[in-house]
């Protein structure tokens, strides 16, 4: 696990929340469901009305090349590209990043609001 400072943790959190596919991914994952094949994740995300996709193949491609590696960088998941498989999900890490985003956002608000 990465030992982030508060700003780096917030940046990792923003990386998760910058795309609907990443948000949908962390919403459908649970530690009990890993390891999870990319194809299984595609099926789950295809059921989510908030996840934009033109086709399951395009979603699988964007997960494999963009979104799962980005989530892996945040240490919320471990992704094995050669197997196209999520091998770990860390909800505590996700909660830490959510808290960091909230703390940073609150620190940017003017006093007295």
pLDDT (tens digit per residue) in 13-26: 888 988 999 999 99
Q: How many structural domains are present in the chain?
A: 1
- How many CA atoms does the CB half-sphere of 111 hold within 13 Å? 0
Average pLDDT over residues 41-46: 94
The closest alpha carbon to 84, from 32, 41, 46, 43, belongs to 41
Average pLDDT over residues 19-42: 95
Domain of 67?
A: 6-108
Q: Is residue 38 part of a domain?
A: yes
Query: What rounded mean pLDDT belongs to the chain?
Result: 90
Label residue 2 by pLDDT band (50, 70, 90).
Answer: low
pLDDT of residue 107: 87
Query: What is the crossing angle of helices 6-17 and 91-108, to 10°?
Result: 110
Q: Is residue 90 part of a domain?
A: yes
Express each pLDDT in 66-83 by its tens digit.
999 999 999 999 999 999
Q: Is residue 52 part of a domain?
A: yes
- CA separation for the pair 53, 3 (Å, rounded): 34
Least confident of 34-48, 79-93, 99-113: 99-113
Q: Is residue 1 part of a domain?
A: no
Q: In a 3-state reduction of DSSP, which class is residue 30? A: coil
- CA separation for the pair 45, 28 (Å, rounded): 8
Count Cβ atoms below 10 Å from residue 90 Cβ, excluding itself.
18
Q: Is residue 113 part of a domain?
A: no
């Amino acid at each position: 696990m990465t030992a982030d400072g508060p700003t780096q943790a917030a940046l990792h959190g923003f990386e998760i929340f910058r795309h609907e596919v990443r948000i949908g991914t962390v919403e459908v994952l649970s530690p009990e469901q890993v390891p999870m094949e990319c194809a299984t994740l595609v099926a789950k995300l295809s059921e989510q009305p908030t996840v934009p996709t033109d086709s399951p193949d395009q979603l699988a491609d964007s997960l494999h090349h963009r979104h799962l590696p980005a989530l892996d960088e945040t240490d919320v998941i471990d992704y094995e590209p050669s197997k196209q498989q999520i091998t770990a999900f860390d909800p505590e890490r996700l909660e830490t990043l959510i808290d960091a985003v909230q703390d940073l956002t609150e620190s940017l608000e003017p006093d007295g609001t």
